Structure 1
Amino acid sequence: MVEPTALTASQRIARFSRVFDPRVLQAELRRQVGRALIDTAGIALAGHGEPASLAIRRYTGGRRDTRSFATAWGLGAARSAEDAALYNGVAGHVLDYDDVNSPLRGHPSIALLPPLVALAEARDLDGIQLASAYAMGFEVMVRLARAMVHDHYAKGWHATTTLGTIGASVACCHLLRLSEAQTVNAIGLAVAQASGTRGNFGTMAKSFQTGHCGASAIRAALLAELDVDGAIDALDGPEGFTSLYGHGEDLNEAMDSLGVDTLELERSGIEIKKYPMCYAAHRSIDGMLALRDTHGLHADAVTAVHVRANRRATVPLIHDHPKTGLEGKFSMQYAMAAALLDGHVRLSSFTDDAVQRPAAQALMQKIRCTEDDGPETPRWNTLAVTLVSGDVLHKEIRALRGSADCPLDDEELREKWRDCLSHAGAADHGDAFFASALALQQTSVRELMSKLPIVA
């Protein structure tokens, strides 16, 4: 009987790569590789004048054009639009504090704004154009989500970046005023790049996925602008997005009402997070903080905590026993421990040291989280906190702070903005940007970005 290996496939591949000695490769095999290189390079030379080759040549050459540069947020440095979207998409998501849309089961602005701001800055466009493009991308993302996101997300896809790449590409096309045919092509090019797995949650790769999403959207739009084409049925064809990433869902209903129904930006809206971690834990955080305040609750008085939620409500919370700050952002157990121990859940809650402290690690062992088999919506959480005395405190939470039904007001948003600046070491700056962003229609994107504080 063969003993199962403890190594993952990735580990085994990496190990083989490390120990393989190129000197053992037979001469005939080396000759075959050389033949393949001759063949491939020859074909590339023959195809140098084809439209796709010319378009890619112009595209990559444009990276050196300073007129296409955009701001890497907070760094005081210029990047190509694509590279700015990559950096800004990573930096803007790594704390998992960015906004959410519930039907999307993801983060709309981190998919849309890094590419749109970069392109608008590079092309010297204004805030009105930016806002219009954002609304367009938001509409596409959420409509696709309504048609397919539940099984898509449950299967393991990172909807922010899969659906986001498509929505952001359409938004970029709208911003650049590309033709219908070019926008169709951009969608095909977006599907060619749409990626992201929930398996990367709790690692740096999760925020890379959002950065890659924005860079991919710009790439799709700029290539389409140069008339690189894509399949016209890239979304709903037999080998299209819904077939490969879903279960062949019918998109007709979602698309039939485009331009007729209320815009999703109004209908479902943008939800600004109150806590810097996965949104799936926020109701329970509110509940635990309320119990703590009402009953003067302390961790040493608690023997067990049971969190219950709707079916699939806790799918993103994949780390029951986190060891790092990033893993803690996807842990209901740590969310409850931090709220109970500290009386708050802030940016400072998610350092490695905060997660690894013995009190938190011990308390997490007392916390379990389960889902009901009933309907997925409307969302709710319940807490049952068992005390040393044997008493059990109960709390049901349905409202979600920051949601479209319970939004943060401007002052709460300003408080969050200042907390973020303070965390970055720029506590005394940012008022000018805040004010200009609230009056987006009155400014150019270049002017707006010139007011963004430099923090590094």
Structure 2
Amino acid sequence: MDTVTSAIVSKMNAFHPDEKALNLAKLGISDFLAVTVAVIEEYSFDEGWLALKSLNKYKTEQEIALILGYAGHALDFDDYHPNMRGHPSTVVLPALFASCMKAELDTIDDKQFLSAYCFGIEIAGLLGLAVMPWQYETGFHATSMLGVVAATAALCFFHNTDAIITAKALGIAATQSSGLRAQFGSAVKPLHAGLAAKNAVFAFELAKTDLFGHKENIIPALITTTTNGKGNLSVFDSPQSDLQIVKPGLEFKPFPTCAGTHSAALCAKWLRADLIIRYGHIDKAITAIDKIEVSFPKGADIAASIVSPKDGIEARFSLEFVIAAMLLKNELYLADFSSHLNPTIVSLANKVKRKVDLTVPEDREDPTKRFHHIKVYLNSAEVIEGRCDRQSVLQLANEPLNKWIACLASDKVLAKNWFALCQFRQPGTIGRIVAMLCTKIVDA
């Protein structure tokens, strides 16, 4: 067995997350379910969901994983892991939930499930450290490229597979690793997550059969070939002081847009307050705007690359639209990213121009220092400006119940019921979640 695969197996055998990590896993499950239920219950309209639902009745573990993975990522409101540079939960959790579908639900061990989820995040984060930034810059989507391996590792942990089956499953998962950034701004981006979750379940199931597959040098091949040989294979042997779910941890999004737009959104929110002080009302302030300039380090808009969005999916990846929406509304609402864009927002977005700041280090050198600097040029010849960095966004308070309420269109009763379930106050919580999710999908 190669050193990387061997290290993953060794980590799995010695993995015992503490109470802090398990509590963070509970928060991750709550956040994932909030954005997923919003799509499944159709509180947020999503054409991709309707298209997938029309194709099939989702009854097998693989099919359930596919549809849950898609739903969890459809709104681009799901969690993010900075080391992975992607969204691990929307691949790991659908695979785990799907694998529980045919179990005796009252026998599912909540702690084992939470621990498996933590292990999936662990592998996602370590894989990210091994391949970033090279794999992302090459054009691959980390959520699916790395998520399929991380989810397979989580399944092996959850089901206590031996070293041989685990190595075989990881190899099958790695050879299915796929997903292109070129699909950002389309429904295929969340489909990447669904396919990765489905392929993880498939890899796990296939590894238990007599099918021959190599168990050595597959994960190293994934790392080296997708980074043009620049990947860091030694990451898995390096001692880690904290689990990946603890540090750097999962980041729960405050806005339903690409994470690469968030510091621009918060900066626009600050500038909106200044405009109201000057003009008394935002409508009057908007008419006084001549143009808007947003600057950032080179490469910081690699994900938020869409300048003139045609629909809500593309708008989530548009700095211009996000800045305009925040200036106008003081918040980013899911409804503003529907299939038909608000013409008032589009009109203001057309005044936003990008500028790369070549006086600062490139984003690839340290994405944690990403910032957006916005200048609003007024027709009075005055300029108001502000700068917001990624760390300021991370300091925003994210109340989990509020996320549920935002996702479920202010249906506070349903939001509170789901939120209460996600507190894990009683044994058998995972079984009840699986029953609620799978029943809804199978009967759809």
TM-score, normalization by structure 2: 0.78
Partner of 2:303: 316
Quote the offset at 1:134 in angstroms: 1.1
Is the 1:107–1:160 contact (alpha carbons within 8 Å) kept by the matching residues of 2? yes
Quote the offset at 1:392 in angstroms: 1.1
Query: Residue 255 in 1 paired to residue 240 in 2?
Result: no
Q: How do 1:211-360 residues align onto structure 2 when only pairs under 5 Å count? A: 211-231=194-214, 232-236=216-220, 240-257=221-238, 260-296=240-276, 298-355=285-342, 357=343, 359-360=344-345
Partner of 1:189: 172
Question: Counterpart amino acid of 1:431?
Answer: K
Tell me, in whole angstroms, the C-alpha distance in 1 between the residues paired with 2:196 and 2:136.
Answer: 16
Partner of 1:29: none
Query: 1:71-99 CA deviation, whole Å, 9 max, x = no partner?
Result: 99646997221111101111111111111
Partner of 1:396: 387
Query: 1:384-429 CA deviation, whole Å, 9 max, x = no partner?
Result: 11111111111111255663xx2634xx221120121227xx5421
Tell me, in whole angstroms, the C-alpha distance in 2 between the residues paired with 1:159 and 1:414.
Answer: 28
Higher relative contact order structure (alpha carbons within 8 Å, sequence separation ≥ 6):
2
Query: 1:133-155 CA deviation, whole Å, 9 max, x = no partner?
Result: 11111111111111222121112
Q: How do 1:4-403 residues align onto structure 2 when only pairs under 5 Å count? A: 74=40, 79-123=59-103, 124=105, 125-231=108-214, 232-236=216-220, 240-257=221-238, 260-296=240-276, 298-355=285-342, 357=343, 359-373=344-358, 374-376=361-363, 377=366, 378-400=369-391, 403=394
SS of structure 1 residue aligned to 2:213: coil
Q: Which segment is superposed worse, 287-296 or 115-124? A: 115-124
Quote the offset at 1:332 in angstroms: 0.5
SS of structure 2 residue aligned to 1:439: coil
Root mean square deviation of aligned Cα: 2.5
Question: Structure 1 residues 249, 174: closer, same or farther in 2, change over 3 A?
Answer: farther
Question: Structure 1 residues 441, 241: closer, same or farther in 2, change over 3 A?
Answer: farther
Tell me, in whole angstroms, the C-alpha distance in 2 between the residues paired with 1:241 and 1:312.
Answer: 24
Quote the offset at 1:375 in angstroms: 4.1
Question: Counterpart amino acid of 1:273?
Answer: K
Question: Structure 1 residues 224, 407: closer, same or farther in 2, change over 3 A?
Answer: farther
Question: Counterpart amino acid of 1:340?
Answer: L
Query: Residue 446 in 1 paired to residue 431 in 2?
Result: yes
- Of all paired residues, the percent bearing the same amino acid is 27
SS of structure 1 residue aligned to 2:354: strand
Quote the offset at 1:242 in angstroms: 2.1
Partner of 1:422: 409
Is the 1:90–1:210 contact (alpha carbons within 8 Å) kept by the matching residues of 2? yes
Tell me, in whole angstroms, the C-alpha distance in 1 between the residues paired with 2:348 and 2:187.
Answer: 26
Tell me, in whole angstroms, the C-alpha distance in 2 between the residues paired with 1:250 and 1:179.
Answer: 28
Question: Structure 1 residues 85, 454: closer, same or farther in 2, change over 3 A?
Answer: closer
Is the 2:130–2:233 contact (alpha carbons within 8 Å) kept by the matching residues of 1? no
Is the 1:149–1:159 contact (alpha carbons within 8 Å) kept by the matching residues of 2? no
Tell me, in whole angstroms, the C-alpha distance in 2 between the residues paired with 1:360 and 1:422.
Answer: 21
SS of structure 1 residue aligned to 2:409: helix
Question: Counterpart amino acid of 2:318?
Answer: S
Quote the offset at 1:442 in angstroms: 3.2
Is the 1:99–1:108 contact (alpha carbons within 8 Å) kept by the matching residues of 2? yes
Tell me, in whole angstroms, the C-alpha distance in 2 between the residues paired with 1:372 and 1:146.
Answer: 26
Tell me, in whole angstroms, the C-alpha distance in 1 between the residues paired with 2:300 and 2:320.
Answer: 15
Tell me, in whole angstroms, the C-alpha distance in 1 between the residues paired with 2:84 and 2:199.
Answer: 19
Question: Structure 1 residues 407, 340: closer, same or farther in 2, change over 3 A?
Answer: closer
SS of structure 2 residue aligned to 1:422: coil
Is the 2:132–2:231 contact (alpha carbons within 8 Å) kept by the matching residues of 1? no
Question: Structure 1 residues 331, 140: closer, same or farther in 2, change over 3 A?
Answer: same
Tell me, in whole angstroms, the C-alpha distance in 1 between the residues paired with 2:274 and 2:210.
Answer: 62
Is the 2:138–2:226 contact (alpha carbons within 8 Å) kept by the matching residues of 1? no
SS of structure 1 residue aligned to 2:189: helix
Is the 1:93–1:210 contact (alpha carbons within 8 Å) kept by the matching residues of 2? yes
Identify unmatched segments of 5+ residues in structure 2: 1-32, 43-56, 277-281
Query: 1:349-399 CA deviation, whole Å, 9 max, x = no partner?
Result: 1123224x1x33332222122333414322222111111111111111125
Tell me, in whole angstroms, the C-alpha distance in 2 between the residues paired with 1:399 and 1:440.
Answer: 34
Quote the offset at 1:441 in angstroms: 7.6
SS of structure 2 residue aligned to 1:382: strand
Quote the offset at 1:158 in angstroms: 0.6
Is the 1:144–1:251 contact (alpha carbons within 8 Å) kept by the matching residues of 2? no
Identify unmatched segments of 5+ residues in structure 1: 1-70
TM-score, normalization by structure 1: 0.76
Quote the offset at 1:285 in angstroms: 0.6
Query: 1:57-84 CA deviation, whole Å, 9 max, x = no partner?
Result: xxxxxxxxxxxxxx99646997221111
Quote the offset at 1:176 in angstroms: 1.3
Query: 1:253-308 CA deviation, whole Å, 9 max, x = no partner?
Result: 311136x5311111111111111110110111111111112321532221121112
